[in-house]
Amino acid sequence: MNCCSDHINARHAAKSYPIRLPLPHPSRPSPYRQHHSLSVMEGPNFEDEHRREIERRARDRRARAWDLLVEHLRWRNLLNAHGHRTSQADILILAADTMSGDMRTIESLRAQLMECHNEVHRLNNMVMEIEQRTVANRRAQRAQAQALVSMQTNRILSLPDVSKYYQQSF
């Protein structure tokens, strides 16, 4: 029985999964190449493929961040109907161009979005105040003009009727 169990354990060990070596960073030489001439890591295009994969992931991350930014800009009304950015969106576009994908950059981008959103609200409130003041000024000017007209009308009406004097003189 001992012989059989040893035989079964040996067979199981032979079927076990091969050891997977970690992928080396493309800027550092692989430590396995010195010891294993026919390693899985060995290959004419391994470092190129690894570098391309890292670049592809970075591109995908930037594309997702860009899509998220465009969605935020549309939601915050920083893109007009034609998809052209407004002046408030320019800083955010520059921030997205340099985005590396780490959380600090995303958080700073979110903070800039909120600052722009608050700035847009502040500017809208200023425009509304100016419009209200303009309407109030127009009303005041209209009332002033009406008062001046009525004052002149009353003054003219208070003058004596001179037409009878003209009729008598001729």
Q: How does pLDDT run across 64-110, given as a tens digit for each residue? A: 777 777 666 666 565 555 555 565 565 566 555 555 555 566 677 77
pLDDT at 62 over 80: no
Structure confidence at residue 37 as a pLDDT band (50, 70, 90): very low
Structural domain spans, the chain: 60-148
Rg (CA), the chain: 41
CA distance 44 to 83: 46
CA distance 73 to 95: 13
This prediction's pTM? 0.30
> Residues 9, 13, 16, 21: what is their CA dihedral angle, to the nearest 10 degrees?
150
CA distance 152 to 134: 27
Of the given ranges (75-79, 156-160, 163-167), which has the lowest mean pLDDT?
A: 75-79
Q: What is the mean pLDDT of residues 139-151?
A: 91
Query: Where do the H-state alpha helices sit in 42-162?
Result: 46-75, 90-97, 103-158
